[in-house]
């Protein structure tokens, strides 16, 4: 609309600024007035459309925020009984987004990564509680049940229109670059990039967080582990980028204390 209205208006304005070009009583003057009225109308329509568009954009952002809040709640529901894993969810998400900004900036704000990292374990809703909560080693059957959680998560999300975006990360977050992961044994580029990014963030946070059954590892040790697993468990480019991010202080900049506080705020809902 701007492309049409504004040149028209300038053209007419020029005719008005230089009225000596025409005699006010000629038919050209009448045409000029009509043209001016059309230009004014076009301008009015343009401004109305622009404010309507701004309203729609505002509504869209609100809708996106609501989606993300809903997804976050769904993710927390999976870990409702465990405050440790709830704060893990927030940190793993933030590490994944920081890593994506460096590896593939378009992915950083994409629902595949945003929703995928928050919902990665949603399939655990389909795994029996006694298996999830078991302190000792799992039997072969229990391990088999546990290994189904990525596929169960995908089945849960794919029919839901706006949540389906998360499915590629949910289904592939336990795949490994060398093909030894599960559930499908995908290898290298067969694994969606968002899942390759998330799996590094997920592993780093899991290693550096206290769990009931083991102490957290020091950050340095966890970064060394990520580096050693480049080309084995992890995409080498993604793993090396994570190591560089850490060396540049970008990972520690994500305030872990603040994130823990945010997670404990959420505790009040459970
Ligand atoms: Fe998982």
Tell me if 71 is assigned to some domain.
no
Average pLDDT over residues 3-32: 58
How many Å lie between the centroid of ligand 1 and the Cα of residue 148? 10
Asked whether residue 46 falls in the same domain as residue 92, the answer is: no
Asked whether residue 39 falls in the same domain as residue 157, the answer is: no
Share of the chain above pLDDT 90, in %: 48
2: left (phi over 0), alpha (psi -120 to 50) or beta: alpha
Of residues 91 and 195, more confidence is placed in 195
How many Å lie between the centroid of ligand 1 and the Cα of residue 147? 8
How many Å lie between the centroid of ligand 1 and the Cα of residue 120? 6
Asked whether residue 6 falls in the same domain as residue 95, the answer is: no
How many Å lie between the centroid of ligand 1 and the Cα of residue 153? 9
* Cα radius of gyration rounded to whole Å, the chain: 28
Average pLDDT over residues 248-261: 68
How many Å lie between the centroid of ligand 1 and the Cα of residue 173? 6
Instruction: Tell me the pLDDT of the chain averaged across its residues.
Output: 83
Residue 32: per-residue pLDDT: 75
What domain range is 179 assigned to?
79-267
How many Å lie between the centroid of ligand 1 and the Cα of residue 47? 50
Average pLDDT over residues 80-107: 85
How many Å lie between the centroid of ligand 1 and the Cα of residue 81? 16
Of residues 167 and 4, more confidence is placed in 167
How many Å lie between the centroid of ligand 1 and the Cα of residue 9? 61
Entry pTM = 0.73
Residue 183: per-residue pLDDT: 96
CA 129 remoteness from chain centre:
29
Whether 100 contacts 195, CB under 8 Å:
no
How many Å lie between the centroid of ligand 1 and the Cα of residue 86? 13
The number of distinct structural domains making up the chain is 2
Average pLDDT over residues 84-102: 87
Residue 62: per-residue pLDDT: 87
Pick the range with the lowest mean pLDDT from 10-24, 78-92, 110-124: 10-24
How many Å lie between the centroid of ligand 1 and the Cα of residue 241? 22
Tell me if 68 is assigned to some domain.
no
CATH number at residue 184: 1.10.3210.10
Asked whether residue 108 falls in the same domain as residue 216, the answer is: yes
Q: What is the pLDDT of residues 169-200, one digit of tens each?
A: 999 999 999 999 999 999 999 999 999 999 99
How many Å lie between the centroid of ligand 1 and the Cα of residue 126? 12
Residue 270: per-residue pLDDT: 33
How far is 46 from 57, CA to CA, in rounded Å?
16
Of residues 239 and 89, more confidence is placed in 239
Asked whether residue 43 falls in the same domain as residue 161, the answer is: no
Tell me if 64 is assigned to some domain.
no
Residue 170: per-residue pLDDT: 97
Q: What is the pLDDT of residues 129-170, one digit of tens each?
A: 888 888 788 999 999 999 999 999 999 999 988 889 999 999
Residue 15: per-residue pLDDT: 55
Asked whether residue 48 falls in the same domain as residue 128, the answer is: no
HEC secondary structure over the chain: CHHHHHHHHHHHHHHHHCHHHCCCCCHHHHHHHHHHHHHHHHHHHHHHHHHHHHHHHHHHHHHHHHHHHHHHHHHHHHCCCCHHHHHHHHHHHHHHHHHHHHHCHHHHCCHHHHHHHHHCCHHHHHCCHHHHCCCCCCCHHHHHHHHCHHHHHHHHHCCCCCCHHHHHHHHHCCCCCCCCCCCCCCCHHHCCHHHHHHHHHHHHHHHCCCECCECCCCHHHHHHHHHHCECCCECHHHHHHHHHHHHCCHHHHCCHHHHHHHHHHHHCCC
Q: Which two tokens stand for residue 10?
A: 């300038």
Whether 146 contacts 114, CB under 8 Å:
no
Of residues 102 and 70, more confidence is placed in 102
């Amino acid at each position: 609309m701007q492309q049409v209205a504004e040149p028209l208006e300038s053209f007419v304005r020029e005719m008005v600024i230089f009225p000596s070009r025409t005699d006010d009583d000629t038919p050209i003057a009448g045409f000029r007035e009509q043209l001016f009225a059309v230009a004014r109308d076009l301008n009015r329509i343009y401004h109305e459309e622009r404010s309507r568009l701004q309203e729609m954009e505002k509504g869209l952002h609100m809708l996106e925020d609501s989606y993300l809040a809903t997804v976050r709640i769904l993710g927390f529901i999976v870990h409702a009984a465990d405050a440790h894993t709830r704060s893990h969810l927030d940190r793993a998400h933030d590490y994944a987004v920081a890593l994506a900004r460096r590896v593939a900036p378009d992915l950083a704000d994409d629902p595949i990564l945003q929703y995928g990292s928050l919902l990665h374990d949603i399939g655990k809703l389909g795994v029996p509680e006694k298996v999830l909560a078991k302190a000792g080693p799992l039997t072969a059957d229990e391990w088999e049940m546990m290994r189904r959680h990525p596929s169960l998560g995908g089945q849960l999300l794919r029919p839901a229109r706006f949540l389906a975006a998360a499915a590629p990360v949910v289904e592939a977050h336990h795949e490994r670059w060398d093909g030894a992961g599960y559930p499908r044994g995908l290898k290298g580029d067969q694994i969606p990039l968002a899942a390759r990014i998330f799996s590094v963030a997920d592993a780093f946070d899991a290693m550096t967080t206290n769990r009931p059954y083991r102490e957290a590892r020091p950050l340095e040790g966890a970064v060394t582990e990520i580096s050693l697993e480049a080309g084995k468990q992890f995409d080498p480019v993604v793993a090396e980028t994570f190591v560089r991010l850490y060396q540049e202080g970008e990972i520690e900049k994500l305030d872990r204390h603040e994130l823990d506080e945010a997670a404990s705020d959420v505790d009040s809902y459970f």
